Structure 1
Amino acid sequence: MGAGAVVADNNKAYPGKLTWSVFKACIVASMGGLIFGYDIGISGGVTSMDSFLVRFFPSVYRQKNLDKSTNEYCQYDSQILTSFTSSLYLAALLSSLVASTMTRKFGRRNSMLIGGILFFAGALLNGFAYAIWMLILGRMLLGFGVGFCNQSVPLYLSEMAPYKYRGSLNVMFQMSITIGILIANVLNYFFAELGGLGWRLSLGGAMVPALIITVGSFFLPDTPNSMIDRGDNEGARASLEKIRGIKEVDEEFRDLVAASVASKQVEHPWKNLLQRKYRPQLTMSIMIPFFQQLTGINVIMFYAPVLFNSIGFKSNASLMSAVITGLVNVVATMVSIYGVDRWGRRALFLEGGIQMLICQIIVAIFIGVKFGTNGNPGMLPIWYAIVVVVFICIYVSGFAWSWGPLGWLVPSEIFPLEIRSAAQSVTVAVNMLFTFVVAQIFVTMLCHLKFGLFIFFAVFVVAMTVFVNFLLPETKGIPIEEMARVWRTHWFWSRFVDHEHDVKPSYVVDTII
């Protein structure tokens, strides 16, 4: 071998094991998902409570209960009512852009702390609200908290986890989201019987998950990546040895330092993100969260009680149906925790997409046959309602082990350190933007598209499944600092990647024979 030859190790495997300290830290950090999930689950149940509608949205209450001429599909059609749900996600979108800088400069842990405090303040304001402005302001504070946590938690989990277990540990964030949704649905079911106190307890209950992540943040170690990025190399190495459970961390530590050095040479990470060589990562940071929201899942999760109520279920039955879908969501997410590092990301993405598509078509047929376009089904047979709930549950399970957890996992693991915070902000911002759009226009779309709403989302499920099949490479089992190689070998993305300069200096072997 001649002088100056470059050898790139494309199959690098860092030593280390899954230590108790890592597992414990990831459990605590993933609790940041509780605040997001709790809010997703709580809002639909609260907006279906008559006591809440009478207090803040009397016109919707009259439309739902007193005006018999109202089409069943349209009984919740109110832009002011939907703004109660959607305002949170608009605030989360804005805060995610600020959170990028905070996460990079002050660390992932401190961003979680800020998110927990903001969420607690919003929950407190909502629980004691007596006017609509207090509801909206509280929702915006909740949104700021969600933006900070959704920015920092997936990054924290991906950076802390050994690469062999990164998928399973990162999916714990989605597991916390699903648990938060389930808890919210159960509380809504029981609190609905308490009248005016019920909706206050439901909204104010968000203080509990906020306290969990706020207090938990004080006990979390920061990631070695973040410590190196802030100049604490000695502390980062000690932390890396502790979380990997071994002393032989030289290779991984050198690569982390090299990545940090490269990232500090980037003066404008947002501008840098637009470079041609980062085209694959930028595309995924936009398209994956876009498709995740256009699966239609939040139609079910935000408005499950509203949706079930609109298609003929009585109030308590609609809340119980939401509890059932929430429980299915939690159980199915466990499948992803088990399989994501065994079967791979692509297999789960593709299977989940096909499963959701089939269920959406079947639900559209069942609702269309019974309700038609006038939304008046008469007496809905019990067996008919059960069939609708069963296929919605199968749809939810398909999302829960595919696009739900992987929509957060894959973007968080593919970004090199120099663009990681900025790219994660793009992911969160796109996610929150389309969550806001879906939340704001859902009831209007249901009113106008009727059962065709499920077909509308099914079209996007087809598009996203094709997108994954052709454009998303497999990222299972690849160290996070070695992720560039998946793009260099991809049939399409390889044309955008700088092959020569993707090799880190630590791989250069200068041998003279």
Structure 2
Amino acid sequence: MVWFSCALAALAGLLFGMDIGVISGALPFIKQEFHLSTAMEGWIVSSMMVGAAVGAFFAGGISQRFGRRKALLYSSLLFFIGALVAVVATSTAILVVARILLGLAVGVASFTAPLYLSEIAPERIRGTTISFYQLMVTVGILAAFVSNLAFSYIESWRWMFGVLMIPAGMLFAGVLMVPNSPRWLATRDRFDDARNVLNRLRSSREEIDYEMREIRESIEQKEQSRGWGMFKENANFRRSVLLGVSLQIVQQFTGMNAIMYFAPQIFQASGFEGTAAQLWSTVATGLVNVLATFIAIGFVDRLGRKPILYAGFTIMAVSMAVLATILHIGPDTSALQYTAMGAVLVFVAGFAMSAGPLIWTLCAEIQPLRGRDFGISASTVSNWVGNWIVGQFFPLMLVGIGGTMTFGILAALNLLFIVFTFMLIPETKGISLEKIEKNLMGGKALRDIGT
């Protein structure tokens, strides 16, 4: 039942990924049909992030009041409506509205799905299950890239958006079959319902009794304030919220979404001419993204979060430095062109095995139960604000300061994130959510709350 619930909740990740990936293939045809300026091009890309930030902001209240399950249902409806509006759009204004609706759906889903997964999975596989969600994000990106490639031959960007309606319907139907979060039920004083859910999710009575006892203690021993009130009153909770916000900012400024959104333009700058060649390159990028995520799934609960993050940030820094160097030299030979493409693929692999899944995992793990909705909402909003900044300004940076400087900055940032990981990020492998909370509220240093 745990894996069944995780698989269905992870459909939200599939839609998340498809919404990220669809714009890279659709944008050249939208630009051609509506004669977009560079600024409007950036706005069509980034309007989804504006909607996602708004959706994530309200997702905490929706999830806390109605439950994680209903929040996922609402997001599936928004996905369907947003895709339908994009299909029938007759102007850039309507298309921006569609992208904002899709963003609202992504914001709610990106908040709720990792939270739901963290609360239903036993601690020994918690990292794996949340990484599985990120795997579905990468599968969604790849599916969008393949769909983009197929529909590029008939130059139909509307069909590229239309395919989003299929998984949206699947998500709605699937989530109807999964249980609610036992921890959410407990916060509503529905302890009997929480135990009944755990009876379906855990393998032994001893495990259920232990988990119920920890949940009850977590609720009863803490102050009654929640959310913003708890943030104002409790300095330890403020630390976890600010760490979550910082983690999501770090994820965005690795540069991964810039690669995803503007992959055709990046491959064009690297010397690949023609829409078909550029879209085939994005399919290769999406495939690497999927395959490398299996590294995180296989090792996150064995090696831990921090060693994988160290490796990922190092790989991303080196690959961005290589790409910047090639663009500085000029990719005027086939060898340099394919080396540039290889640098992009290695970068994607570094992200997919580390910061992609593990940032979401950590953000779902470090927040105390009474403040979890507020804390994860704050970090998810920061993710989409950072995402908006990348989507809005990355094309302007490419035009303004050039690819060499742009990718050189990304390389330097990834080196700084290695230091950030060492100084602030805790190792949470194999530790219960309640134990992490106890360490946090006891005043331990952030890097030590997983011990």
User: TM-score w.r.t. structure 2 length?
Assistant: 0.95
Quote the offset at 1:384 in angstroms.
Answer: 2.0
Q: Paired residue for 1:468, among 418, 421, 425? A: 421
User: 2:196 aligns to what?
Assistant: 238
SS at match of 1:386: helix
2:302 counterpart letter in structure 1: R
Residue 284 of structure 1: aligned partner? 243
Residue 257 in 1 paired to residue 216 in 2?
yes
Q: CA deviation at 1:383?
A: 2.3
Q: How does 1:130-145 map to 2 (within 5 A)?
A: 130-145=90-105
**Which is further off, 221-230 or 256-265?**
256-265
Distance 2:391 2:287 in 1: 22
Pair 59,37 (structure 1): closer, same or farther in 2 beyond 3 Å: closer
Deviations 1:481-500, CA, capped at 9 Å, x for gaps: 111355489974499x9xxx
Alignment of 1:404 with 2:356, yes or no, is yes
Equivalent position amino acid for 1:333 in 2: T
Q: Is 1:176 the counterpart of 2:143 in the alignment?
A: no
**In structure 2, C-alpha distance between the alignment counterparts of 1:494 and 1:211, rounded to whole Å:** 41
Q: What letter corresponds to residue 480 of structure 1 in structure 2?
A: L
1:101-180 aligned within 5 A? 101-180=61-140
Distance 1:391 1:54, change over 3 A: closer
- More relative contact order, 1 or 2 (CA 8 Å, 6+ apart): 1
1:116 Cα deviation after fit: 0.7
Partner of 1:423: 375
For structure 2, the residue ranges without an aligned partner over 5 or more in a row are none
Q: Specify the alignment match of 2:365 in structure 1.
A: 413
Question: Which of the numbers 373, 391, 394 marks the counterpart of 1:439?
Answer: 391
Say if 1:107 and 1:226, in contact at 8 Å, map to a contact too.
yes
Contact 2:73–2:172 at 8 Å: present in 1 too?
yes
Q: 2:270 matched to which residue of 1?
A: 311
Amino acid at match of 1:306: Q
Q: Distance in 2 between matches of 1:383 and 1:250?
A: 61
> What's the offset of the Cα at 1:241?
1.9
Can you list the C-alpha shifts for 1:285-317, whole angstroms capped at 9, x where unaligned?
A: 111000100001111111111221233312211
**Maintained 8 Å contact 1:473/1:487:** no
Larger radius of gyration: 1
User: Partners in 1 of 2:343 and 2:443 — Cα distance?
Assistant: 36
* CA–CA distance in structure 2, aligned partners of residues 490 and 338 of structure 1: 32
Contact 1:45–1:306 (Cα < 8 Å) also in 2 = no
Give 3-state SS (helix, strand or coil) of 1:415's partner: coil
Unaligned runs of 5+ in 1: 1-20, 61-77, 372-379, 498-513
Q: 1:474 to 1:452 in 2, by over 3 A?
A: same
Label 1:416 to 1:492 Cα distance change in 2 as closer, same or farther (>3 A): closer
Judging changes above 3 Å, is the alpha-carbon distance between structure 1 residues 331 and 489 closer, same or farther for their aligned structure 2 residues?
A: farther
Q: How many Å separate the matches in 2 of 1:287 and 1:381?
A: 40
Structure 2 partner of 1:29? 9
Cα distance 1:464–1:410, how it changes in 2: closer, same or farther (>3 A)?
Answer: same
**Would you say the 8 A contact 2:426–2:447 is kept in 1?**
no
- Indicate the residue corresponding to 2:345 in structure 1: 393
Q: Are positions 1:299 and 2:251 aligned together? A: no
Mapping for residues 182-201 of structure 1, pairs under 5 Å: 182-195=142-155, 198-201=156-159
The verdict on how the C-alpha distance between 1:133 and 1:59 changes in structure 2, with shifts beyond 3 A counting, is closer
How far did residue 159 of structure 1 move?
Answer: 0.6
Cα distance 1:346–1:488, how it changes in 2: closer, same or farther (>3 A)? farther
Is contact 1:473-1:486 (8 Å) kept? no
| Aligned counterparts of 1:423 and 1:489: Cα–Cα separation in 2 | 18
The CA distance in 1 between the partners of 2:421 and 2:257, in whole Å, is 21
* Distance verdict in 2 for CA 1:131–1:447, change over 3 Å: same
With 225-234 and 287-296 compared, the bigger mean Cα shift is at: 225-234
Does structure 2 retain, via aligned residues, the 8 Å contact 1:225–1:260? no
SS in 2 for 1:32: helix
Q: Percent identity?
A: 32
Letter in 1 for 2:245: I
Closer, same or farther: CA 271–210 of 1 in aligned 2, 3 Å: same
2:26 matched to which residue of 1? 46
Residue 99 (structure 1) aligned to one of 59, 72, 76: 59
What CA distance in whole angstroms lies between the structure 2 residues aligned with 1:140 and 1:425? 18
Aligned residues: 445
| Structure 2 Cα separation of the partners of residues 200 and 244 of structure 1 | 44
Secondary structure, counterpart of 1:273 in structure 2: helix
Residue 35 of structure 1: how far off its partner (Å): 1.3
Aligned to 2:407: 454
